[in-house]
Structure 1
Amino acid sequence: MKILKVLNNNVVTVKTEAGEEVIIMGCGLAFGKKRGDNVDESKIEKIFTQTREDKNLYKKLEDTIERIPAEYIDITEKIVKLAEEKLQMKLSDTIYITLSDHIYFAVKRFGDGQSLKNILFWEIKSSYKDEYLIGQEALKIIKDTVDLSLPDDEAGFIALHIVNAELNENMMNVMIITKIIKEITNILKYHFNVELDEENQTYYRFIVHLKFLAQRLLNNTTCNHSNDDELFNVIRASYKESFACTVKIFEHIKKNYNYSFSRDEMVYLSIHIEKLRKEWN
């Protein structure tokens, strides 16, 4: 593959043998290279392809890599690798744009004596435990690279970017999802008059369920696979307290977001709540 453009020492655009233009990334891959040189393919760590659907994303990525100093792209690459390894999932490539931008301007702001308060900090920390822990490790990567210690609020912001890339949603929707999760857990807490153990694995699985439930709400889609009235009636009769809590959540969501749970969603949510309730008793 021959280099079309050197974006920084680690990133170039090339034309493949099939005539496709792609962005490739790898440590030192472009060091001392220029247009027309061959790429050492053994150094390739990441390839960003250009498709008809995401030409705009490809262009934004190229612009971001050219505009932002190389060390911030490297920081983002390290964080993405860490997140994909810890979460055991592939993140959307949009994170290379959004997170690089965020970290670059966060460092600039903090260096100028300004910091941005994360108003969702506690909700993020409790709702996205794994992502927040990755965010804390990301702060260490940033410190090691640019010798600047960012506040814990930034670990929360980084966690939101990771959730954004997990769900392939925009940042505003991720913030709304976080708010919905908080509202539902508050209803649960006050309905049963309990303190929620955020370290509990059953609680963790409950939060994961809420994350995708809230995403369906925002996208106005429903989980409606079985239409099993018999199962619905069994759950309602067998898990009375948990089902009553689900009804409260249903009414809150209907009133505030104009979204109606399907019967399947009420069943699944009641089962998750019942598992938590059994652990409290």
Structure 2
Amino acid sequence: MRVSKILNNNVVISHNELNQQVIVMGNGLAFQKKVGDEIDKSKIKKTFVLQTKGISDKLAKVLMNTSEIYLNIAAQFYEYAQSKLSYKLDEYLYIALTDHISFAVSRYKKGVELKNPLSWEIRKYYKLEFQLALKCLEVIEKKTGVRLGEDEAASIALHLVNSQLSGQNVTNAVQITEMVDTILSIVKFHFKVELDEESVNYERFLTHLRFFAIRFIRNEKLEDTADPFLYNQIKETYTESYQCTEKIATYLKNNFDLDLTKDEEIYLTVHINRVTDRQQKETSS
């Protein structure tokens, strides 16, 4: 294994026996080394594979002003989170988390703590990601001696959510969270009920909304293949839920210039009926 690029004294880019680009870490690994030199395998403490073009260049820029300890934390958490999540994480997460954790620890040491305005929503809508992020706080504390607050866990959870978009901007995850939150509020206001957040129907509805929002961010359009008979049947059978769907459609059109297909109207209406039916019955009984 030879040096392809030196990121700093302890981190180099190389290629493994499968010719995959890898990041190799170890104390003094690049000391007095140059590109093409053999890497001392006895010094290697951690290796991870990169499959996305350009990631190593961006990591190099981050590590110019950041200790590799934060890359180590990010890599450890990346592997742990990937083992727990059903979706594939984007490798840009290595960079985003390295930079974020470094900055968060630096702010903490200066006595500056930032509140995450979406912390409550993130805990509620992205429960698994938030629980994983709490584990990340434990790793940070173990490696740095700094215990960050749960607002930072919420921010790390957003990075996980955003990672499935193959994006490089947490603004995407914020927009998804706000869209989901507003749609849920429309449903609650329309039916004048509180939704049972522990119910299976709520989880299904929430999952549908999240991935609907993700499709929007990705600008993925669904073909309108709805059966006209089914569409009209849904409208007539679930009149109240369909009226709620129309309100959601108006919100999406006015705020995002997004037109719902008839397929999406059907899915939304059915999900809304499922998630509100029991609460309506309990309220009226």
Counterpart secondary structure, 2:3: strand
State the partner residue of 2:270: 271
Letter of the aligned partner of 1:33 in structure 2?
A: L
1:79 to 72, 77, 80: 77
Letter of the aligned partner of 2:14 in structure 1?
A: V
State the partner residue of 1:211: 210
TM-score, structure 1 normalization: 0.86
Gaps (5+ residues) in structure 2? none
Counterpart secondary structure, 2:233: helix
State the partner residue of 2:193: 194
State the partner residue of 1:37: 38
Cα gap change, 1:218 to 1:88, in 2 (>3 Å): closer
Deviations 1:10-47 (A, max 9, x none): 742124678x682324xxx5345343124649976521
Gaps (5+ residues) in structure 1? none
CA distance in 2 between partners of 1:140 and 1:181 (Å)? 29
CA distance in 2 between partners of 1:238 and 1:117 (Å)? 45
1:167 to 156, 160, 165: 165
CA distance in 2 between partners of 1:152 and 1:197 (Å)? 25
Cα gap change, 1:197 to 1:241, in 2 (>3 Å): same
Aligned 1:1-281 pairs, distance under 5 A: 1-7=1-7, 11-15=11-15, 22-25=21-24, 30-34=26-30, 35=33, 36-38=37-39, 40=41, 45-49=47-51, 54-55=53-54, 57-169=55-167, 170-224=169-223, 226-280=225-279, 281=281
CA distance in 1 between partners of 2:203 and 2:11 (Å)? 38
Cα gap change, 1:90 to 1:21, in 2 (>3 Å): closer
Cα gap change, 1:32 to 1:181, in 2 (>3 Å): same
Is this contact kept in 1: 2:122–2:130, CA < 8 A?
yes
TM-score, structure 2 normalization: 0.85
Cα gap change, 1:168 to 1:146, in 2 (>3 Å): same
For residue 241 of structure 1, report the CA deviation from its aligned partner. Answer: 2.2
CA distance in 2 between partners of 1:11 and 1:197 (Å)? 49
CA RMSD across the alignment = 2.6
Deviations 1:201-254 (A, max 9, x none): 332232222122223334444222523222212221222222221111111111
Is this contact kept in 1: 2:26–2:45, CA < 8 A?
no
CA distance in 1 between partners of 2:86 and 2:41 (Å)? 28
Is this contact kept in 1: 2:116–2:152, CA < 8 A?
yes
Is this contact kept in 2: 1:95–1:165, CA < 8 A?
yes
CA distance in 2 between partners of 1:43 and 1:187 (Å)? 52
For residue 100 of structure 1, report the CA deviation from its aligned partner. Answer: 1.0
